[in-house]
Structure formats: C-alpha cells, structure tokens
A = this chain, B = another copy of it.
C-alpha cells in the first residue's frame, strides 16, 4: 500500500462500509466502491493491490480503532464502574457504527479474510477478560467460567445495539441503565 491521499483512502473505506450495509458483502464490487467513493476504478488499485487486500485492510483499521480507544481512561476506576462505562461506550459505538459492525461480521464469514486478519483477536477481549477476573478476585463477580460471562456481555451488546439500529430507535439513558442493570445482575456474585 502506498497511499498518498488520506481523504481518498477514507472515501474508499466509507464506500465499502456503506455498500456492505446496503447489499451485503455478496454484492460488493470494485466498480461500485469506486463509483461510490467518486474515484476511478484504476485508482482503487493505486491504493490496494486487490479487493482482498482492501477489505482486509479495512477490517484491520476498524478493529484497531474500534472500542479500544476507550480503555486507557478507565483503568483506574473500580471494576463495576469500569464495566458500566464500557457498556455505555460500547453500546454507543455499536449503534453509531452499525454499518461497520455489519461489515466486520460479514467479512469474518467471507473467503476474503486472510489468516492474519482472522488472528486479530483484539486487546479489548483480553482487557475484558482481565477485568472480569479482577472482579472475581474481589468476590463481586460470579465464579463462573470466563467464556460464559464474556459471551453474555458480547452477545448481549451486539444483539441489543443491532436491534436498536435496525428499528432506528435512539439509544436513551434509560435503555443504557436498564440493560446494564440486567448485565450486572447476570454476572454479579
């Protein structure tokens, strides 16, 4: 990759996300991406060697931005507060970036995904695991299998935000609080 124009690069990524949201990754073609990004098809190949690379690169970018950014500010807070903040931020992020979520999900099931991309299990999961463990040590979180607790948090937030996005319902304070209460009751000791 030898990108020159950061704006153009972002336009390509945006177009890819938009189109995947509209017609699914099945309907995603290079010419549609170019047209949507308002550049020539040839230009796509200045920025990416192939469709596969484009799509993997985008996945990597989304993963690295993702929910990671929020972590550092929270590390000093008590466990429950950290979880609450994460829950709020994650819901916000997932509702606001629903198209990106859709892209990532479909990408994971496509033949485009490279071994490297598949391995991109992100720091976020590790962080969440450690947080739960810390809570268990403090006896405020159930002594259940980590996988069982993580699945709840990730599966629930995904489903809830996806449902909100689908029905175009706004993410209100009340929803955040109610759903977090549900979460906390689920995992608390």
Contacts of A74-94 to chain B: CB distance below 8 A: none
Bound-state Cα–Cα, A67 to B120, Å: 33
Flag if B149 contacts A160 (CB, 8 Å).
Answer: no
A182 and B111 contact, Cβ closer than 8 Å, known pairs A26-B25, A156-B155, A159-B158: no
Question: Across the two chains, which residue of chain B brings its CB closest to A157?
Answer: B155
Q: Is A186 an interface residue (CB 8 A)?
A: yes
Residues of B contacting A160 in the complex (Cβ-Cβ under 8 angstroms): 147-148, 151-152, 155
Residues of B contacting A27 in the complex (Cβ-Cβ under 8 angstroms): 110-111
Contact with B along A129-169 (1 / 0, CB 8 A): 00000000000001011011101101111111001000000
- Selected from B156, B178, B188, the residue in CB contact (under 8 A) with A156 is B156
Flag if A142 contacts B24 (CB, 8 Å).
Answer: no
Minimal beta-carbon separation of A35 from chain B (angstroms): 14
- Residue of A151, A154, A181 contacting most chain B CB atoms (<10 Å): A151
Residues of B contacting A158 in the complex (Cβ-Cβ under 8 angstroms): 155, 159
A145 and B175 contact, Cβ closer than 8 Å, known pairs A159-B155, A160-B155, A187-B182: yes
- Selected from B24, B154, B188, the residue in CB contact (under 8 A) with A159 is B154
A26 and B110 contact, Cβ closer than 8 Å, known pairs A159-B151, A182-B142: yes
Residues of B contacting A149 in the complex (Cβ-Cβ under 8 angstroms): 182
- Identify 18 residue pairs between A and B in the complex whose beta-carbon atoms are under 8 Å apart, listed by A's number: A24-B106, A24-B110, A25-B109, A26-B26, A26-B109, A26-B112, A105-B109, A144-B182, A145-B175, A148-B182, A149-B182, A151-B156, A152-B186, A155-B156, A155-B158, A155-B160, A158-B159, A185-B186
